[in-house]
Amino acid sequence: MPRNVYFSQAVRSEQNLYEDLVIESLKIFGQDVYYIPRTLVSRDDILNEDPASSFDDAYLIEAYIENQDGFEGAGDLYQKFGLEIRDEANFIISKRQWERLIGLYNNNLTSVKPKEGDLIFLPLSNSFFEITFVEHEQPFYQLSNLPVYKLTCSLFEYSEEQIDTGVSDIDNLAALNAYQTTLRVSVTADAHFTKGEVISQTLVAEDGDTPAIIVSGTISSIDKLSTTSADITVINIGVTGSSGEMREFTTSNTLGVVGAESNNTCFIINTYDIADEQSFTLDNAARNYEFEIEADGILDFTETNPFGDPSETY
């Protein structure tokens, strides 16, 4: 027979009370985290991925970490390329709070719920977690209601995505781990750049490249050497107009570097890459110059093939 019509599990007042208790529990036992939505820049419809994703906003929300004994996952693994950390975590957030603080009606998001690929920044451990699955039916319809989202996340593997959220703790952490290149530029009293400014250089089109190739990046630090020169560190380097090959900033007396905000133009005197001595002195984590000195006593790089038979000729 059908269930008793005089009893209902979908009383709105009881659902609201239950949801209020859930939100209060999250505020008491949860952690403040930042929800960082992903913006697709150039999606590959064949592989269904976007290696050029950017993260431009961050929203503070309370979340409960379901893992009580620490992060889950495979943990810390030592691979042939170094230490690999495969931490995972489950975050519980309120559906009502997400809609109020982050959702569709408060910003430019096009989704009505959290999406896979978005990030969770946990200030407690200074870690970025990528959402791999969003579960919206757990707990399963208590009082015929679904008050929370359960976000299954894994530690985010940074691969040069542009992160510019406006939150200093997040942006500074991303800048420290981003690919950096150092440019020595000519400056004058009236023509110089500022930290955080976007700069660009228009290169000469080659092999029929159209439109013109533009290399751009963001200045993360400035070291003024004298009244005529300065070293600038550039991150978030991108190329537009290229036919596919990698392009970088080029030393030139005619192709200037233009600042987007200051509209000033400077010329690159020198560039430092991973093989230069200057790169070693600027980066405390780099030992390339030290390795080069040691390798000079073992391998003869004047040969065409330093790893082959010295008797062979090419």
pLDDT tens digits, one per residue of 54-99: 888 899 999 999 887 777 776 666 666 666 777 889 999 999 999 8
Domain boundary among 126, 151, 169: 169
Q: Do 59 and 142 lie in a common domain?
A: yes
Domain range spanning residue 186? 179-272
Give pLDDT, residue 275: 44
Burial (0-12, 13-18, 19+ Cβ within 10 Å), 307 = exposed
- Residue 303: pLDDT above 80? no
- Residue 280: pLDDT above 60? no
Q: Do 159 and 188 lie in a common domain?
A: no
What's the sign of the alpha-carbon dihedral 166, 169, 175, 178? negative
Q: Do 145 and 24 lie in a common domain?
A: yes
Output phi, psi for 173, to 5 deg.
-65, -40
Q: Do 165 and 192 lie in a common domain?
A: no
Q: Do 42 and 125 lie in a common domain?
A: yes
Classify residue 137: in a domain, yes or no. Answer: yes
Q: Do 35 and 115 lie in a common domain?
A: yes
Tell me which range, 7-16, 78-87, 133-142, is most confidently predicted by mean pLDDT: 133-142
- Residue 302: pLDDT above 70? no
Residue 284: pLDDT band (50, 70, 90) is low
Domain count, the chain: 2
Classify residue 292: in a domain, yes or no. Answer: no
Average pLDDT over residues 208-212: 59
Residue 10: pLDDT band (50, 70, 90) is confident
> Buried (b) or exposed (e) across 209-246, using 16+ Cβ within 10 A?
beeebbbbbbbbebeeeeeeebbbbbbbbbbeebeeee
Cα–Cα–Cα angle for 99, 103, 108, rounded to 5 degrees: 165
Classify residue 124: in a domain, yes or no. Answer: yes
Q: Do 16 and 154 lie in a common domain?
A: yes
- Nearest-10 Cα torsion for 226, 229, 235, 236: 140
Chain centroid to CA 191: 31
Q: Do 57 and 105 lie in a common domain?
A: yes
